[in-house]
Structure formats: structure tokens, C-alpha cells
Amino acid sequence: MLALPINYGVMRWVIASKFDYVSGRIPDPQGQWTGQEFKSYNTAGIQYALVGPKKLFASSFFKPVLYGFPAGAVAPIIIWLLHKKFPKARFDLWNSTIFFASAATFHGNLSTGPFTTFLVGTFFNFYLYRYRRKFWNKWAYISGAALDTGFNANLLFIFIFLGTTGVVMVNWWGNNADNIERCFALKK
């Protein structure tokens, strides 16, 4: 209920106040406003709407992408067969949709997201599920909701209190003063 107006408001604010950085008219001194998500949506829109799948997949470069359709259809069957053959290995907990969706939505230099998701997911869905089942039954879903809420609230607060005020991020061992996103493709 809150996500839609907040996301829309933030998007309108970014377009109104940071458009010159996002569009590349003015170089962003810290490389924060690259418009990566906007560019991803724009590229996908051009690929699927203007170019179309017939021309897009005619190129030999994109032809291997078509193998994803049969792989996506066969993967659940393979997982089911593995579960039937090795029931103690718990292949029934594997979900090919999650594996493939995670690979499909990776947008470049946001490299900490998949690793952190893997670590937290392994802790909750392997360790706690296997060795602390009672705790997992009671707290797994609420912990997931709390982590999502905490992440989004933190992102919103950082955006409101630091992103809108022109605060320059601190230079410490974990970041780079020239490019805090650590996207070296943006370096001149």
C-alpha cells in the first residue's frame, strides 16, 4: 500500500533533481546517479518492443538464450527425479524458479546482493531448517519480512537524509572516493 506512492515519488524526485547526472549531460563526481535501473528497463523495452524476439534471437550472439526455455522446462523434472532417487538429500527443497529468476534479474555492479542473499538464505533455509527446526518454524517467515522491511526502510532513510542533502560519502577502506559504487566501468 505504501510502496507504490513512495516509489513513484522517489522516481519523480530523481528525474526532477538528478536528470542531468542520470542522462549523462553532467558527469556525476561520485558516480552515484548512473540510472542503472532505468537503463536496464529501457534496454529491455527496446529489445522486446522495438526489435522483437524474431530479430533479437536471429543473431548468433543471442541464440543460446533460446536454450533457456527447454532448460526451464526440464530443470524441475530433473530436481524431482533427483528427489525420488535420493530422498535423504532433500532435493525437494530445491526450486529451479528461484535459481533462474535470480540469474535473470542481476543488473551488473550490484554485486553484494546475490552473495548476501545466498549467505542469509543458506543460514535460514539450511542451517536453521536442519538443526533448529523449532526456531525455523516459528521465526523464518517473520525474519524474512523483518529483513526486507529493514533493508527497504534503511534504503529510504539513506536516500532521504543523505541522498537529498548533498552529503558527500566518507572515504574509508571499504569504498572509493572517486566512485562509491565501485563500478570501474564508469571510470574515465
- CA separation for the pair 141, 25 (Å, rounded): 45
Domain of residue 49: give its range.
38-107
Non-local CB neighbours of 128 within 8 Å, separated by 6+ positions: 135, 136, 140
Lowest mean pLDDT among 58-67, 89-98, 165-174: 165-174
116 and 44 co-located in one domain: no
DSSP assignment, residue 48? I
What is the rounded average pLDDT of the residues 122-127? Answer: 89
Interatomic CA distance for residues 36 and 34, integer angstroms? 5
155 is a domain residue: yes
pLDDT score recorded for residue 62:
75
Q: Which of 62, 87, 107 is the last residue of a domain?
A: 107
Is 144 part of any domain? Answer: yes
Do 84 and 123 fall into the same domain?
A: no
Q: How far apart are CA 174 and CA 75, in angstroms?
A: 39
- Report which listed range, 58-67, 111-120, 122-131, 173-182, is most confident: 122-131
Return the closest-CA partner of residue 9 out of 153, 160, 166. Answer: 160
Do 147 and 87 share a structural domain? no
Asked if pLDDT for residue 112 goes beyond 70, the answer is no
Mean pLDDT of the chain: 79
Given the C-alpha cell 518454524, which residue does it identify? 137
Task: Please report which residue ranges of 34-170 form alpha helices under DSSP H.
Answer: 36-45, 52-56, 68-85, 96-104, 112-122, 129-131, 133-158
Euclidean distance between CA atoms 154 and 158, whole angstroms: 6
Under 8 Å between Cβ of 73 and 66: no
Same domain, 45 and 118: no
Through-space distance between the first and last CA atoms of the chain, rounded to whole angstroms: 42
pLDDT at 77 over 80: yes
Q: What is the pTM of this model?
A: 0.48
pLDDT reported for residue 170: 67
What band does 110 get if pLDDT is binned at 50, 70 and 90? low
Give the residue from 39, 72, 68, 38 showing the smallest Cα distance to 53.
68
137-146 pLDDT, tens per residue? 999 889 989 9
In a shared domain, residues 114 and 181: yes
Indicate if the pLDDT at residue 176 is higher than 70: no
Mean pLDDT calculated for residue range 102-127: 74
8 Å CB contact between 187 and 179: yes
pLDDT of amino acid 177 = 63
What is residue 180's predicted lDDT score, i.e. its pLDDT?
58
**171 φ/ψ sector (left φ>0, alpha ψ -120 to 50, else beta):** beta
Number of domains forming the structure of the chain: 2
Domain co-membership, 58 together with 82: yes
On whether residue 122 sits in a domain, the answer given is yes
Give tens-digit pLDDT for 18-59.
888 877 788 877 667 777 776 777 777 777 777 777 777 777
